[in-house]
Amino acid sequence: MAKGLRKGLTSYGDAGFSLFLRKAFIKAMGYSDDALERPIVGITNTYSDYNPCHGNVPVLIEAVKRGVMLAGGMPMVFPTISIHESFAHPTSMYLRNLMAMDTEEMLRAQPMDAIVVIGGCDKTLPAQIMGAVSVDLPTIVVPVGPMVVGHHKGEVLGACTDCRRLWSAHRAGEIDEAEIEVVNERLAPSVGTCMVMGTASTMACVSEALGLSLPMSATIPAPHAERVRLAEASGKRAAEMAIAGSPRPSEILTPAAFRNAAIVMQAIGGSTNGLIHLTAIANRTEHALDLAEFDQIGRDVPVLVDLKPSGEHYMEHFHHAGGLPRLLMQLGDLIDRTALTVGGSTLGEIAARAEIVPGQDVIRSVEDPIKPEGSMAVLYGNLAPRGALIKHAAASSRLLQHTGRAVVFESVEDMAARIDAPDLDVGPDDVLVLRNTGPRGAPGMPEAGYLPIPKKLGRQGVKDMVRISDARMSGTAFGTIVLHITPESAVGGPLALVRNGDMIRLDTTARRIDLLVDDAELERRRAALPVVPPPAWTRRGYARLFYKSILQADEGCDFDFLVGSDEL
Ligand code: FES
């Protein structure tokens, strides 16, 4: 099989000419024949002025290149899409599959023997991993790393759990305009990803647990020199993999690797988005993720990492306590220690080498967990025939068993228009329902599942209510929130049938979410549902592709034509 520059020649009907032309053009950049004969490590560049989370990418790229050259390889950097959570309209999730396609096709189109993907902001690592898994060249994932923490009035602050908490306090009149402006400057004090256990941190931990990143990749703070050295080491290892032709993602991503990642997700109090992304990654292989197994793992695996939003600390504290290797050590036989990683060690060998940090209280033992069960539970019931998710580790325990009256919002716009209305008929024991916010309905499943507490209740001191939707929520959010109701209302899921005043029962122990309306009435309501034509936004372009191809949350929200591996 051809290697390096000879791979994947552009088609002119004459292979010799194709190589001649390729070399003629690349020599315009000043490369020597010696350089061009080396195995190539392709390095993705997701730097963007719109993406502050990736602000250290140029430094990391230089370090990866240095590592590749130290090991005798030839680094070649190329751009792909970059997505920042708060600069992506309508949602970053809407663009994840576009980034996965861009990454996959550029990896396929250009000659390379191994890949280093550098990313981190929420949807970027999932997109990059999905693309790389489908291409199945030897791949190392280098997360950009979390931000360092901020400080305000003696309090430690972090994006974006504290963004939400302090904004809620501002809405409730507890923080004035001047102070919220000061807070705004202190929530994100460095480049890097959100430093709580949001989606970015979750997916960095998942990548390390899957064996796709070198040890400590998930937790080293973005501005630290240690991260630059990790990038260099990743480049070096990628060059070795380019020469050897292995290990490929298909050799790393076994059922055991996916199970390990699911265990880690539960033990870190991971983001609910992580389950969608892990499902999408698994569906690119031969090993689908089983939601029932994920729930069972949640019953067996305690939350051990004390991080916001379900705990107290931040990613840099997790790092200084020993990072993911130390967590793997604490998980002991719960994980499959024989699973292979890109560095060449097994997960068990990495766990055995974990640093022992005296007195640390961020990574607990199984005997002294933060929560006795994992962070997430999968719910079923007549409201969610194909499942829904609750992050009960970040919920109010008194609301985990709750029956309340539905207060229904038809869309994000409807909710924004009415949630703070003084005459809204709502009480603290009601269940807030938001629909038409699923993968297809919104589109891109906005992180609107964290419905704000209506202002008039917030002013009475109400901090949490049961909220249910077919939306997602940020991994940095907290509350008693049922998400990802599947099928979504826009494709006729039962959420479309709920009416104001209906009673809804959440029974987290029994893993149920039910609408307490009899079947005959539900059938009458279903028959009366209007037929909705495709909305105007689906007329052309990527939006049209998205509308026609997007899968539901239980399938990872990938496009239907991207699932599976080439071998299937
Ligand atoms: Fe980029 Fe949070 S906004 S990780």
Q: Where are the domains of the chain?
A: 31-148+190-352, 150-184, 381-506
For position 552, what pLDDT does the model report? 97
Which listed CATH number (3.20.20.140, 3.50.30.80, 3.40.50.1260, 3.40.640.10) goes with 381-506?
A: 3.50.30.80
Q: At 1, is the pLDDT very low, low, confident or very high (cuts 50, 70, 90)?
A: confident
Q: Is 193 in the pocket of ligand 1 (CB under 6 A)?
A: yes
Tell me which DSSP letter residue 481 carries: E
For position 335, what pLDDT does the model report? 97
The pLDDT tens digits of the residues spanning 430-489 come to: 999 999 999 999 999 999 999 999 999 998 999 999 999 999 988 777 899 999 999 999
For position 567, what pLDDT does the model report? 53
Q: Is 194 in the pocket of ligand 1 (CB under 6 A)?
A: yes
Among residues 122, 55, 52, 63, which one has the least CA distance to residue 92?
122
CA atoms of 378 and 330, how far apart (whole Å): 25
Q: How far is the CA of 122 from the centre of ligand 1 (A)?
A: 6
Among residues 441, 461, 459, which one has the least CA distance to residue 449?
441
Other CB atoms closer than 10 Å to residue 506's CB: what's the count?
25
**C-alpha torsion sign, points 487, 493, 499, 503:** negative
Best probe residue, ligand 1, of 194, 273, 314 (max atoms within 8 Å of C-beta): 194
For the segment 291-301, the average pLDDT, to the nearest whole number, is: 95
Whether the pLDDT of residue 405 is over 90: the answer is yes
Specify the ligand 1 atom closest to the Cα of 160. Answer: 2
Q: Is 147 in the pocket of ligand 1 (CB under 6 A)?
A: no
Two tokens, residue 81: 């899409």
Among residues 351, 373, 202, 361, which one has the least CA distance to residue 303?
373
Give the DSSP letter string of 314-353: -HHHHHHTTHHHHHHHHHGGGS-TT-B-TTSSBHHHHHHT
Q: How far is the CA of 86 from the centre of ligand 1 (A)?
A: 8
CA atoms of 226 and 233, how far apart (whole Å): 10
Other CB atoms closer than 10 Å to residue 362's CB: what's the count?
25
State the residue for tokens 């549902």: 529
The arrangement of strands across the sheet holding 139-143 comes to 74-79, 40-45, 114-119, 139-143
Q: Is 122 in the pocket of ligand 1 (CB under 6 A)?
A: yes
Q: How far is the CA of 144 from the centre of ligand 1 (A)?
A: 11
Q: At 299, is the pLDDT very low, low, confident or very high (cuts 50, 70, 90)?
A: very high
For position 372, what pLDDT does the model report? 92
Specify the ligand 1 atom closest to the Cα of 122. Answer: 4
Best probe residue, ligand 1, of 46, 50, 53, 147 (max atoms within 8 Å of C-beta): 53
CA atoms of 97 and 99, how far apart (whole Å): 5
For position 179, what pLDDT does the model report? 94
pLDDT above 70: percentage of residues in the chain: 99
Q: At 399, is the pLDDT very low, low, confident or very high (cuts 50, 70, 90)?
A: very high
For the segment 267-271, the average pLDDT, to the nearest whole number, is: 94
Q: Is 104 in the pocket of ligand 1 (CB under 6 A)?
A: no
CA atoms of 81 and 48, how far apart (whole Å): 9
pLDDT above 90: percentage of residues in the chain: 91
Q: Is 85 in the pocket of ligand 1 (CB under 6 A)?
A: yes
Q: Is 102 in the pocket of ligand 1 (CB under 6 A)?
A: no
Whether the pLDDT of residue 568 is over 60: the answer is no
Q: Tell me if 333 sits within 8 A of 327, measured CB to CB.
A: no
Whether the pLDDT of residue 511 is over 60: the answer is yes
Q: At 309, is the pLDDT very low, low, confident or very high (cuts 50, 70, 90)?
A: confident
Whether the pLDDT of residue 513 is over 90: the answer is yes
For the segment 171-189, the average pLDDT, to the nearest whole number, is: 92
For the segment 88-92, the average pLDDT, to the nearest whole number, is: 93
The pLDDT tens digits of the residues spanning 341-351 come to: 999 999 999 99
Best probe residue, ligand 1, of 91, 99, 122 (max atoms within 8 Å of C-beta): 122
Specify the ligand 1 atom closest to the Cα of 86. Answer: 3
Q: Is 163 in the pocket of ligand 1 (CB under 6 A)?
A: no
For position 161, what pLDDT does the model report? 82
Using a 10 angstrom Cβ sphere, with 0-12 exposed, 13-18 middle and 19 or more buried, the burial of residue 333 is exposed
Q: Is 295 in the pocket of ligand 1 (CB under 6 A)?
A: no
Specify the ligand 1 atom closest to the Cα of 200. Answer: 4
